[in-house]
Amino acid sequence: MRTLLVLCLCLYVAWAQDNLEYDDYDMDTVTSSGSKTNETVDARGHRPNTGNRDRYNAPRNNPPPVSGSSRYRGRPTTTSVERSVVQEKKEQPEAGGCTHPSEELGVLCPNGCELKTMLLKQEKNVKTSINELKPQVDDLSQSSNNVFNYVNSISNTLRERQIVINDNNRVVSQYTDSVEEQHVYIKETVDTVFPSNIRVLQGVLDKIRLKIQKLEKAIQAQREECKEPCKTTCPIPVVSGKECEDVFRRGGRDSQMYLIQPDAFYPAYKVFCDQTTQNGGWLLIQNRLDGSVEFGRRWDEYRRGFGNIALDSGKGHCETPGEYWLGNDRISQVTKMGPTEVLIEMQDWTGAKVHAQYQQFTVQSETSNYILAVDGYTGNAGNCFLEGSVELFGENRTMTIHNGMMFSTYDRDNDNWNPGNPSKQCSKEDGGGWWYNRCHSANPNGRYYMGGSYTAQMAKHGTDDGVVWMNWKGSWYSLKAISMKIRPFFVPQ
């Protein structure tokens, strides 16, 4: 019985000693409160699940493991725990007892009295050691948890950064491919297309240079011829009158240049009289036939008149009319003498001819800016003065009517298109002085274009600034010839 008791005590002491020398932690995670948990760590962390083909890529730069000495010795294996080996007892002849496996316990006596005293002492020492180790164990547990959480946080951060790095690498790769493609295209363009285009442009430039040289020579020749102003050397007919109808009735039946004097208080001046069209008597107030005279003039020039009245065709008298504008003062003076009609004749570049005639035609004085008044249309060219452009509708049509409009030039804006606004002037954009509205359906004093058809790209301001009569040829056809003639209105007998 005693032997059995001694054996049990030996086993107990050995178990207590084993608990002192080895850690008793499981493989499970220990929380800061000392309780164990079996929860597994989510390898994805807090990154959202994107679904299709989502996978985790390990970070390339893993931190090294923690190094240094440990406060603990190695753990015993499960076999060593389960199979405790009892040290062989040595006989103590002089004491008559046995030796405890732990040397600190000394020799055990057969009666157990010494053993009890020794165990009580050892128990006190063991408890003291346990109490001292317990706070250290708690601190170690807390530190282990903090280290684990920190390592886990670093791992999640690395995973997220690795994803960002992968995305950036993919974008960089895409842009690199795009840049390489652009580089190949640019290189090919610079090496092949540009030289070819440059050669073509060089050829065009050479042709343009040759044309410019020809034009310069032609301009120089014209300058040489125009050093002295043109003069009419043909004789003036003896017959004269107040206007061409009076000249006709006085015997001047040939169409040529005459001298007329509508008012005895003003000096006489030269005009061209058409004495053949519709029985004659027509005073030519405007004529365009070859573009030799520039009609983009100032207000004062339109007031006085400009151009060449007539030319000598070699027969000794001026029977060929030139390009000219009689002058607004003279036109106003003649039309206010009594009822006056106007005949507008025009010709296209195929030789076709049409006309527009108004039985009433009056131009007021300069104090009213030469307001135009017409009525009584007949003809086959289209009634632009009273109806505007018939191809337009509503306000777009009515703003092209010329009846009742004041005369405008590029330096005197009297049209209905934002009056006073220098950026919106019909005369400046449409090439000449005229009774503009907003702006025109007829533009006899516009820019002269050879050949008829022209485009917005050819126009100075991109507008239909040619010699236009819209109701016959439209906006983008410049007539070859147009003339305006007036005579006193009377009913033939």
Q: Are 265 and 283 in contact (CB under 8 A)?
A: no
Higher-pLDDT residue of 21 and 190 is: 190
Asked if pLDDT for residue 416 goes beyond 90, the answer is: no
CATH code assigned to 240-488 = 3.90.215.10
CA dihedral 295, 299, 305, 308 (to 10 degrees): -30
Structure tokens at 154: 């670093």
Could you give the C-alpha distances from 213 to 218, 221, 227, in angstroms and in order? 9, 12, 21
Q: Are 437 and 401 in contact (CB under 8 A)?
A: yes
pLDDT in the model for residue 131: 84
Element (H, E) at 125: helix 113-188
Could you give the C-alpha distances from 291 to 115, 296, 308, 323, 482, in angstroms and in order? 144, 12, 12, 8, 11
In 3-state terms, what secondary structure has residue 147? helix
Please state whether 388 falls in left (phi above 0), alpha (psi between -120 and 50) or beta. left
Q: What is the CA radius of gyration of the chain?
A: 59
Higher-pLDDT residue of 74 and 324 is: 324
Q: Are 415 and 423 in contact (CB under 8 A)?
A: no
CA distance 484 to 108: 153
Lowest mean pLDDT among 110-119, 132-141, 175-184, 457-466: 110-119
Asked if pLDDT for residue 62 goes beyond 70, the answer is: no
Lowest mean pLDDT among 7-16, 191-200, 481-490: 7-16
pLDDT in the model for residue 182: 87
pTM listed for this prediction = 0.55
Confidence of residue 92 (pLDDT cuts 50, 70, 90): very low
Higher-pLDDT residue of 98 and 124 is: 124
393: amino acid identity, one letter? F
First to last CA, the chain: 175
Could you give the C-alpha distances from 417 to 39, 142, 421, 428, 436, in angstroms and in order? 85, 89, 8, 12, 9
pLDDT in the model for residue 283: 96
pLDDT in the model for residue 471: 94
Higher-pLDDT residue of 74 and 403 is: 403
Helix H segments across 265-326? 299-304
CA distance 336 to 262: 10
User: If you average pLDDT over each of 31-40, 42-51, 96-105, which comes out highest?
Assistant: 96-105
Confidence of residue 193 (pLDDT cuts 50, 70, 90): confident
Mean pLDDT, rounded, of the chain:
79
pLDDT in the model for residue 299: 95
Q: Are 398 and 441 in contact (CB under 8 A)?
A: no
pLDDT in the model for residue 331: 96
Asked if pLDDT for residue 211 goes beyond 70, the answer is: yes
pLDDT digits (tens, 9 = 90+) for 443-485: 999 999 999 999 989 988 888 999 999 999 999 999 999 999 9
Could you give the C-alpha distances from 386 to 82, 404, 419, in angstroms and in order? 125, 9, 22
Structure tokens at 249: 């009735």
pLDDT in the model for residue 3: 57
Could you give the C-alpha distances from 228 to 223, 224, 225, 231, 305, in angstroms and in order? 9, 9, 7, 9, 20
Confidence of residue 109 (pLDDT cuts 50, 70, 90): low
pLDDT digits (tens, 9 = 90+) for 148-162: 888 888 888 888 888
pLDDT in the model for residue 132: 82
For the chain, which residues make up each domain, given as ranges? 240-488
Lowest mean pLDDT among 54-58, 186-190, 302-306, 396-400: 54-58
Confidence of residue 96 (pLDDT cuts 50, 70, 90): very low
Residue 325, classified by CB atoms within 10 Å of its CB into exposed (0-12), middle (13-18) or buried (19+), is: buried
CA distance 254 to 281: 10
CA distance 442 to 402: 8
Asked if pLDDT for residue 180 goes beyond 70, the answer is: yes
pLDDT digits (tens, 9 = 90+) for 282-341: 999 999 999 999 999 999 999 999 999 988 776 666 788 999 999 999 999 999 999 999
Burial code of 432-444, b = ≥16 C-beta within 10 A, e = fewer?
A: bbbbbbbbbbbbb
In 3-state terms, what secondary structure has residue 36? strand
pLDDT in the model for residue 417: 83
